[in-house]
Structure 1
Amino acid sequence: MKNTALIIIDVQNGMFLEENPVFKWEKIILNLKQLIDNARINKIPIFYIQHNAPIGSILERGSEAWEIRPEVTPAPTDIIIQKTTPDSFHNTNLYAELKHQNIEHLVLTGIQSEVCVDTTCRKAFSLGFAITLVTDAHSTWNTSELSAQQIINHHNQVLRWFAETKETEDILFKNEVSIQ
């Protein structure tokens, strides 16, 4: 089995605001907690990607909205990568950290399906990583044209060109990506 890492993109308080929380947020948090627990038991490295938005934006660095969601708080051994664009690799040390740990396979989760998750998945593929997109552990919001569920379904379908797609339970209970 290839050396694996769990990647959690932009699961920050600002994505869960009471007036407009990310679609199916309770289920996303539950699935992420299961993946995190399973990764820790199996000594899989966990990388949190934290978006830093400009001053005055919802994810402004240092604000409460910028903080990682408390239900999925990083452990001291987890790595937090700061980013400023949808691409988790662009102008960050993510690639260097993954290479340092000999990681070849990424289990991808997070927010926002059509922006940061999509961009990071495609870039990881271009960089030569094997990828598993966890189809029920990424999310977004409705738009005026499409429902959040339609966007998620579309990206689960399109990103199959770049990643294997699995649900949380298939990763957890079959241990297909849990052992390095």
Structure 2
Amino acid sequence: MDKAVLLVVDIQTVIMEEHPYNEVHFLEGVKKMISYARAKEMEVIYVRHNDGPGSSMEYGSRGWQIYSEIAPLETDRIFEKRYNSAFRQTGLKEYLDSKGIKKIYLVGLQTEYCIDATCKSAFEQEYEVIIPEGTNSTVDNQFMTGKQVYEYINFALWNNRFAKVIPLEEVLNQ
């Protein structure tokens, strides 16, 4: 079996306070994935976005903090990023490669921004990407509801192209 990690991207206080689509189910699914990973002795890696000085996601600010309900353990690795992709100028690829990682279980916020960029970047770098259904989310925008964004990107764009979108329960029963 390929070595795998759980990548938890941008589940930060300021975004959660916007109440993303399917918020309760989303958080429940992420918590289940974290428990699953820990039970399987799979490393849980957190990625946190910094939008720079004066932003609601400024380094060290309250909004920048990883959401308390899924807070990392002291032993968990946290990668800081400034771009949508968790791979751009973070050292994440080098770290994963040093550990022999071939598979990434990807969860987090926001579907159309950092999860999309991270998914496609991981695909380009030849990782196998698994997206458990319901474990990424976003908020409504001027063009689409959060639900529409989630469904379109997960099932029309990613699935069987850049990743495998698999029912959460199926992942948890592996």
Q: Normalising by structure 2, report the TM-score.
A: 0.95
Please point out which of 32, 35, 48 is paired with 2:33.
Answer: 35
Rounded Cα–Cα distance in structure 1 between residues aligned with 2:52 and 2:20: 21
Aligned equivalent of 1:58: 56
Aligned equivalent of 1:159: 158
Unpaired stretches in structure 1, ≥5 consecutive residues: 176-180
Report SS of the residue matched to 1:77.
coil
Rounded Cα–Cα distance in structure 1 between residues aligned with 2:134 and 2:124: 23
Aligned-residue identity in percent: 27
Give the root-mean-square deviation of aligned CA atoms.
Answer: 1.0
Q: Which moved more, 1:122-131 or 1:160-169?
A: 160-169
Aligned equivalent of 1:87: 85
Aligned equivalent of 2:3: 3
Within a 5 Å distance, the mapping from 1:29-178 to structure 2 comes to 29-157=27-155, 158-160=157-159, 161-172=161-172, 174-175=173-174
TM superposition shift of 1:168: 1.8
Rounded Cα–Cα distance in structure 2 between residues aligned with 1:141 and 1:70: 19
Within a 5 Å distance, the mapping from 1:13-32 to structure 2 comes to 13-17=13-17, 20-32=18-30
* Runs of 4+ displaced beyond 3 Å: none
TM superposition shift of 1:28: 1.4
Report SS of the residue matched to 1:136.
coil
TM superposition shift of 1:25: 1.6
Q: Aligned partner of 1:136: which letter?
A: G
- Corresponding pairs, count: 172
Unpaired stretches in structure 2, ≥5 consecutive residues: none
TM superposition shift of 1:133: 1.3
Q: Normalising by structure 1, report the TM-score.
A: 0.92
Rounded Cα–Cα distance in structure 2 between residues aligned with 1:171 and 1:134: 7
